[in-house]
Amino acid sequence: MSLSPGDALTSHNFGLQIDGVMVEYLAEVNGLSIEQDVIKHLSNSAQGRPEVSLMPGVQKDGQCTVVRGMTQSPAFTTWINDSIAGQMSTARKNASIIMMDYQNNPVKRYNMRNAWCSKIDASALKAGEASALTETVTIVFEELVIE
């Protein structure tokens, strides 16, 4: 690995893997988070004093948004189309956002179980403008595991 102890990853080198296959290098990822319920347990001590214990509850599902350049990536486009068409038997995939070091070696993975696309927004089209077209895709998932 090209990172020295204490070095942090840069924010510009990451991609999307679907079912183990790298399908897209992304322009942006937002909202990737894990949350779980907190269980509050109230009891009394042997001395009769109230005690509060907090325990971890069930992990919640989540969502994130990814921005990609409008490319002809057939695997990603098929995944979006299957999701939007409601073909959940083929749309639910295991997907990963992969962070890479300076030499493009995977360093950290955010694995999303049973992920599918719930929304897609195309960038504005403007005559005479010289900018890249992008798609913003909302991905929902049932579980997020960080490796």
Q: Residue 1 above 60 pLDDT? A: no
133-142 residue pLDDT tens = 899 999 999 9
Q: What domains can be seen in the chain, in order of their start residue? A: 14-146 (2.30.110)
Please state the rounded mean pLDDT for residues 114-125.
93
What single letter denotes the amino acid at residue 20? G
**Can you read off the two tokens belonging to residue 76?**
């990603």
Between 73 and 50, residue with greater pLDDT = 50
For 24, 34, 64, the CA distances from 67, given in Å and listed in that order, are 10, 20, 10
Whole-prediction pTM value? 0.83
- Indicate the average pLDDT of the chain: 89
85-102 residue pLDDT tens = 999 999 999 999 999 887
Q: How far apart are CA 107 and CA 91, in angstroms?
A: 27
What single letter denotes the amino acid at residue 54? L
7-66 residue pLDDT tens = 666 667 888 999 988 887 888 999 998 899 999 999 999 999 999 999 999 999 999 999
Predicted confidence at residue 125, as pLDDT, reads: 86
Q: Residue 2 above 80 pLDDT? A: no
Predicted confidence at residue 89, as pLDDT, reads: 93
Q: Could you tell me how many residues make up the chain?
A: 147
Predicted confidence at residue 48, as pLDDT, reads: 92
